[in-house]
Structure 1
Amino acid sequence: MLERLEMEAFLGLAAELHFGRTAERLHLTTGRVSQLIKTIERKVGAPLFERTNRSVRLTPLGHRLCEEVRPAYEEIQAAFARAVSSTRATVDVLRVGFIGAAAGQIAHQAADTFTEREPGWRVRLREVQLFDALARLRESEVELLILQLPITEPGIAVGPVILSEPQMLALPANHPLAHRESVTMEDLADVALLRLAGAEPGTWLSDRWPDRTPQGRPIPRGPAIETFLEALQVIASGTGAGIVGEQVTRFYSRPDIAYVPITDMTCMGWAPVWLSSYNSPALRPFVATLLQAGLLYAAASGP
């Protein structure tokens, strides 16, 4: 019985009639090709090639073996190629976007688990930015998006909360409130809250910059930003403050920014969302996998 490499060496040498070219073709050394041919000839019990210092030729037995082996080998290769092609053709892609480090960790864990459970699917992940996240969803660049709640945009379905975290006020490290153990929403009157560029009141993320405190005090408007990293730079420069989730203390700790808990704000929820018109057999199973990955993330993160 011939091993795969032995068969390839025999057919390669039968085609090239040159040990050096056969070695290059198979990415082997010339000595290894010679060794494989000798092994085959021992199995057959007779020479398959006539070798001289100047030439290599098939023996009559070698000719007959080549004529019988090559069609079978080519059929095996063709069958394997068809199998690979068929498998690739049946793999569907679910495009998933996420915002921020925690959502990214959960999304990657869910993607790995999901593709193990559903071999006919592949998950393509991409990080999206605050300013155009919903546009990426509406334009179908992503089919599912993990973002912070609340969201009440028309035509968008909201899945279960996969992560819940306390809200904090991100301040310049030298701000008077930065040394407090906690703040309340009344303290927001003493900072200029960042806002998302182009966002209108009542739209997604507008709860990040309320106009007034619960007692009616006006809250100054800070600079408009497009990305979270831009927000951090603006906060560190001393020109604004932002409402963020507790995850920032793990992923975005820096000496020029202080994160202070806001005691009277409800926890910030993160959830997958998708267009209400989107209907895919992978949607519900992947959302369930996301929920499981979120529980694992919360357990690993501790209290």
Structure 2
Amino acid sequence: MPALSFQSVSKTYPSRSAGAPALHALKQVSLEVQEGEFFGLLGPNGAGKTTLISILAGLSRPTTGRVLVHGHDVQTDYAAARRLLGVVPQELVFDPFFTVRESLRIQSGYFGVKHNDAWIDELLDSLGLADKAGSNMRQLSGGMKRRVLVAQALVHKPRVIVLDEPTAGVDVELRQTLWAFIAKLNKQGHTVLLTTHYLEEAEALCGRIAMLKNGQLLALERTSDLLRSATSQVLRFKLDGDLPPAVAAIARVTGRIVQLPVHNAVEIENHLTTLRTAGLVVEDVEIRQADLEDVFLEVMNRKQTASGALA
């Protein structure tokens, strides 16, 4: 039995004004996450990731389809499904009237978990919150509040951990602390569902990945297979000046760093010749294997070309 099962899930929001089309946030999404997996759910903003998680968590109802958590329907058997889930939301949501420890004890009570202080202490220590246990939630920085949200999601020891952009806007220390702890829980058998815009995290952590765009599932494969499927390598260099239009159309530019997809030595030489002809001087030239970000962009663009509905 899969840990999570999304069965032909669609979500449509009706138009708010006459003549405007309805919003199809999800379109017949079907996928399964096996017990013990570390699974990535990727997509651009507005792809439907958070909508899918909201349906999983019972915060929204699907227009059609079903969602199961270890066989429990999130609508008809919601109490059992909720007990199996621990969800870390994108938004910083907290009660300003309690200390960190009090918040975790109250969260334990929501799930009927008594005498939970030993596990709460382990959470506080593992997430770098031990010295903040007696602090009021209002006194914490954004990063510390994010840590508390993670602890709240884990306080009842859920079998399935859902992380919706857990490291958005947080420092490097928290990322390392969080991933070390979540990886430990995953090795102990907990299933993890992750959404993130940091694709290097997904590449390092996730065994399988699903990619969404415009509410549709575009890819569902093992991470290693996605990386092997990349049709190009990447020509990377530094450059001062504007790229010629022909090169700029396919380039990924970050400051002075330019990255171009290339398939063979002829393409590499053609690009470099175009730059030299334009009077540009390139520095630190290298050729690297495509990473998950390259694959992600390739999948999005390929599917757009293949289907006008996604363009």
TM-score (norm 1): 0.24
Q: Going by fraction, where is helix more abundant, 1 or 2?
A: 1
Q: Larger Rg: 1 or 2?
A: 1
> Whose strand proportion is higher, 1 or 2?
2
TM-score by length of 2: 0.24
